[in-house]
Amino acid sequence: MAHLWQKLTSLPFLRAEATDSAATGHDGTKGTDLLLDPRTAEHLELLTGRSCNRRMIYRTALTHRSVLHDNHLADIKPDSNQRLEFLGDAVLDLLISEYLFKQFPTSDEGHLSSNRSKIVNRRSLAGFAHELQLGEHLIVGESADRQKVRTSESALADAFESLIGAIYLDQGLAGAERFIMTHVISKVDLKRIVEEEYNYKSRLIEYTQSRQIPPPLYTVIAEEGAEHEKTFTIEVSCSGIVLGRGIAPRKKDAEQIAAREAMTLLETRDPFSPCPAS
């Protein structure tokens, strides 16, 4: 996958377009007004752990669209970060998806998507940007600055994704991955997120308690494979009624899968309801 992305972005037209777009205004102007502030460059190099070789790209990543409407920049119109935001969003989704795919081999597509959305939603991205003090380095229009756009959730989330896009173009997929692992994955309480998503066993217990039903019983009905690579099949039942079955390399995961199947059943029909008299 990494080789595919590297091959795509090695195409001259894509890299050249990103560089020229960041370094040149819409009217072809090049000059100091479009340079990256040295303090910002130093800050970004601390965040990425690498030199900012293509500084114009990073400047574009931090340029809010409000700059385009500033009167004093009428003759110099730098690009905003909207295109880089598009690219950064795709890179972020790819790397977070790959990380979750590897970390949770028994998770289905729905749960992987749900967990990813909890990590990369707008609020969390704005939080990451705030922690990295990106708002202080945003390039914004005067009116937007008075409206405190530097602290707005939307502007910060956009800047964070745009920065990832810039890092990707400058340092490649490996550089973007280093940044995301350092400033996203390491900051996320992944265990809590997964427990919230997967805690079907707790939900099943709550269900049985609220209806005065005996607690669920988990039974291993099969163990297959060598000792170091076993697969467990577990059934969950209540009052002798089988509600679900789970298969996984770990008993805990198989129990969660069984409980999830049970909750799916219980949300559609109640097998504990007495049959109506005929």
Average pLDDT over residues 80-90: 95
DSSP lists the bridge partners of residue 246 as 234
How are strands ordered across the β-sheet holding 217-224? 217-224, 231-238, 241-248
3-class secondary-structure state, position 64: coil
Average pLDDT over residues 155-184: 96
> How far lies 126's CA from each of 133, 153, 155, in Å?
10, 5, 8
Annotated catalytic residue, options 158, 161, 170, 177: 161
Name which of 168-172, 234-238, 254-258, 266-270 the model is least confident about: 266-270
Looking at the predicted structure, is the pLDDT value of residue 164 above 70? Answer: yes
Average pLDDT over residues 78-97: 94
- 189 annotated active-site: no
Looking at the predicted structure, is the pLDDT value of residue 107 above 80? Answer: no
Two tokens, residue 70: 């500033």
Looking at the predicted structure, is the pLDDT value of residue 17 above 60? Answer: no
Average pLDDT over residues 243-266: 89
- Quick one: pLDDT at residue 173? 97
- % residues pLDDT > 70 (the chain): 80
- 161 annotated active-site: yes
Give yes or no for a contact between 60 and 25, defined as CB atoms under 8 angstroms apart: no
User: Considering the chain, what is the average pLDDT of its residues?
Assistant: 81
Annotated catalytic residue, options 79, 85, 89, 253: 89
Two tokens, residue 112: 């992987």
Q: Which residues are CB-neighbours of 44 under 8 A, at least 6 positions away?
A: 52, 58, 137, 163
- C-alpha 274 chain-centroid distance: 46
- Quick one: pLDDT at residue 75? 57
Domains and CATH numbers, the chain: 2-194 (1.10.1520.10), 200-268 (3.30.160.20)
- Quick one: pLDDT at residue 18? 41
pTM, full prediction: 0.62
Looking at the predicted structure, is the pLDDT value of residue 106 above 70? Answer: yes
- % residues pLDDT > 90 (the chain): 41
Question: In the chain, which ranges are E strands?
Answer: 217-224, 231-238, 241-248
- Quick one: pLDDT at residue 24? 43
More confident position, 172 or 8: 172
- Quick one: pLDDT at residue 27? 34
Two tokens, residue 223: 């163990």
Average pLDDT over residues 127-155: 86
Average pLDDT over residues 210-238: 89
Looking at the predicted structure, is the pLDDT value of residue 77 above 70? Answer: no
Beta carbons within 10 angstroms of residue 99's beta carbon: 18
- Quick one: pLDDT at residue 195? 66
- Quick one: pLDDT at residue 123? 86
Average pLDDT over residues 152-178: 95
What band does 196 get if pLDDT is binned at 50, 70 and 90?
Answer: low
Give counts: helices (H), strands (E), the chain: 12, 3
Looking at the predicted structure, is the pLDDT value of residue 184 above 90? Answer: yes
The owner of tokens 């690498």 is 50
